[in-house]
Amino acid sequence: MKELNPFILHSSLDIVEDIQWKTSQLYLKTIDNFYGYYISGFLTSGNIKFLLIHETKNEESIRQFFNDLNDLYVKVLLNPFYKVNDAITSPVFDLKVKGFAKKYL
Amino acid sequence: MSSQNIINPSTSKPTGLKAGYNPSLGPIQLPSSYQSQIASKSRNIYDHSVFRRTPEVNLSSLSFLFSAMIEQTQQTSKGVQQLEAKLNSYGYGVGNKFLELITLREGKSAKRETRIVEVLQFIHSQVWKTLFGRPADGLEKSQDSEDEYMIIDNLPLMSQFISVPKDFNQLNVNAFTAGIIEGILDSAYFQANVSAHTMAADGYPLRTVFLIKFDHGVLEREAIRFSR
């Protein structure tokens, strides 16, 4: 199953692009599901997409997870050596995201 | 346990790769001893808070930095047009990042802008307030063409201490601010060209008009999405 995850997430990008002009919210809630897996989405104001695939529905904690992730992403973005759409390779970022996942999900 | 490893690529062991997330290989696992080593490193950018109560800088240092920037740009560019284009591109990067920061700081009331008029009002009020401490002096729609809007500033902060010589008469250093606007609009998916023009009025010799010309596709999308 795990090896399919990237494909499931990428296929839901189309749905994100459809929703993004219908709502002005950042948090898009659950936008798609795939055989018992849910996909939640979040759009930053600069239209950077965060997607999360999960098995249990828990909107509030996912919202908090995304909000903290957005905060972290802005910190990456404010780094003058980072350009929009570059890959984020920082190990600290990776660790922090895993920390949020433990805390909220 | 084998399902844990299944996402890892079958390529030969990556050598010389840094830890973290590599988009072509997926997450790169580290031994836990190394993880604690990273975590205990001295303060990094992720530990700083981006929520500052009064994010203000000194006007004189800002002006000094900006004039040094213009001087440097002037030396490396041929002619006024290239100089303006370069200033614009400096601002563009700022705008890209500033949009994200300003929405994050709004906290709970944060939202994305989905309509042309709303995004322009957002720039006219919120962005201007955060950058220059007051809203812009005017927001107008061009009468001649559908896709042109104007933001007007009677006393632009950036060019307050800059006097443009006569042989540079076409130059408006607010091209930098125009670049910021362009960066914000572009990353909000409202692709546009923004340019700054001096249009002096009574009592306001520095009065600047930021001309915003949206791409055709933006207007088309707006018509399809919101005409119903």
Contact A72, A97 (CB under 8 A): yes
Taking the model in full, what pTM does it have? 0.84
- Give which of A21, A67, A93 to mutate to test B binding, by max B Cβ within 10 Å: A21
| CB pair distance less than 8 Å for B18 and A73 | no
Contact between residue A59 and residue A29 where contact means Cβ atoms under 8 Å apart: yes
- Span B29-39, average pLDDT: 62
A32: helix, strand or coil: strand
- Digit-coded pLDDT (tens) for B95-140: 999 999 999 988 888 888 889 999 999 999 999 998 998 999 999 9
Amino acid at B50: V
Q: Residue B30: list chain A partners with CB under 8 A.
A: 91
Distance CA B171, CA B186 (A): 24
pLDDT mean across residues, chain B: 84
- The type of residue at B180 is I
**Separation between Cα atoms, residue B130 and residue B103, nearest integer Å:** 11
Which residue ranges form the domains of chain B, and what is each CATH number? 59-226 (3.30.1380.20)
Out of B22, B45, B48, the one facing A89 most closely (by C-beta) is B22
Q: Are B179 and B155 in contact (CB under 8 A)?
A: no
Asked whether the predicted pLDDT for residue B5 surpasses 80, the reply is: no
What the block records as the tokens of B28 is 């790169």
Q: What is the pLDDT of residues A14-67, one digit of tens each?
A: 999 888 888 888 999 899 888 889 999 999 999 999 999 999 888 899 999 999
Q: Read off the DSSP letter of residue B13.
A: P
d(CA B120, CA B148): 11
Closest CB to A25 among B111, B187, B221: B111
Which residue stretches of chain B are H helix? 2-5, 32-39, 59-76, 79-106, 116-122, 128-132, 175-187, 216-226
Give per-residue pLDDT as tens, B169-198.
778 889 999 999 999 999 999 999 999 998
Rounded to a whole number of angstroms, the distance from the CA of B56 to the nearest CA of chain A is: 16
Chain segment B83-103, per-residue pLDDT in tens? 999 999 999 999 999 999 999
Distances (CA, A) of A36 to A1, A32, A54, B79: 12, 10, 9, 62
Q: pLDDT-derived band of residue B6, with 50, 70 and 90 as boundaries?
A: low
- For residues B79 and B168, is the Cβ–Cβ distance under 8 A? no
- Name beta bridge partners: B125: none
Give yes or no for residue B8 having a pLDDT over 60: no
Cα–Cα dist B8/A57, whole Å? 27
pLDDT of res. B226: 82
| Residue with the larger pLDDT of the pair A53 and A91 | A53
Query: Can you name the CATH fold of A2-104?
Result: Beta-Lactamase (3.30.450)
Residue-wise pLDDT for A5-14, tens only, equals 889 999 999 9
A14's enclosing H/E stretch is helix A13-19
Residue ranges of domains in chain A: 2-104
pLDDT for res B1: 45
| pLDDT of B12 | 47
- The span from the CA of A29 to the CA of A54, in Å, is 12
Alpha carbons A64 and A76: distance in angstroms, whole number: 19
Q: How far apart are CA B20 and CA B22, in angstroms?
A: 7
Interface of A with B (CB under 8 A): 2-3, 5, 20-26, 43-48, 70-79, 83-84, 87-96
How far, in Å, CA of B10 to CA of B5, rounded? 10
Q: Predicted ipTM?
A: 0.89
- Of A25, A46, A91, which is closest to B187 when you measure between CB atoms? A46
Contact B212, B148 (CB under 8 A): yes
**For chain A, counts of helices (H) and of strands (E):** 4, 3
d(CA A17, CA B76): 41
